[in-house]
Amino acid sequence: VASQVFNTLTEVIQGPCTQNQQALAHSRLWDAVGGFLFLFSHMQDKLSKHSSQVDLLKELLNLQKDMITMMLSMLEGNVVNGTIGKQMVDTLVESASNVELILKYFDMFLKLKDLTSSPSFQEIDGNNDGWVLPKDFREKMEQQKSYTPEEIEFLLACCETNHDGKLDYIGFCDRFHEPA
């Protein structure tokens, strides 16, 4: 339902339709956005600790994407340093700790592409089939020194292995890199 609300609001304010944007800006929109940022950051944190919740986590990321699209639609056709832009910045500043948690989470997945495209990582995928052993994947994440032990555990818990005990790191990266 929330996704439908964000998508409907996006349609109403795109164009740009400045009167609808102004009406929404003078409503409680920014309070709601701050509340959703709080919800997103804390739900991401909780869901990311349980690999069994990966599907719910992906749904949450999609909902977050819908909200960000709606927020960007609010800026269409507005003047630089206008009321709506200032309100949005104020909302993001007030929610800075929540935004920081969200960005930290996304950063964990965005770093995967750098890791898996590095020459040292390619060494563990000797036949270039995209499948590696979890212990090798862990070792490369530890060597990169970009991940905390908790992040490494979470990422490995999200990986599914095949009958040989290997994980499809290309599929895994694609699955999470796009939403991030």
Q: Dihedral, CA atoms, 70, 76, 80, 82, nearest 10 degrees?
A: -60
Q: Each residue of 97-106: pLDDT tens digit?
A: 999 989 988 8
Q: Are 155 and 49 in contact (CB under 8 A)?
A: no
- The answer, yes or no, to whether residue 176 has pLDDT greater than 90, is no
Phi, psi angle pair for 61, to nearest 5°: -65, -40
What type of residue is 117?
A: S
105-180: which CATH architecture?
Orthogonal Bundle (1.10)
Distance CA 32, CA 27 (A): 10
Domain with CATH 1.10.238.10 in the chain: 105-180
**pLDDT tens, 80-134?**
778 899 999 999 999 999 999 899 888 888 888 888 888 888 889 888 888 999 9
Using DSSP, state whether 131 is helix, strand or coil: strand
Q: Are 163 and 150 in contact (CB under 8 A)?
A: no
Question: Coil, strand, or helix at residue 161?
Answer: strand
pLDDT band at residue 73, thresholds of 50, 70 and 90? very high
Note whether 175 and 61 are within 8 A (CB): no
Instruction: Taking residues 16-22, report their average pLDDT.
Output: 89
- pLDDT at residue number 84: 92
Residue 172 has pLDDT above 90, yes or no: no
> What integer pLDDT is reported at residue 51 of this predicted model?
66
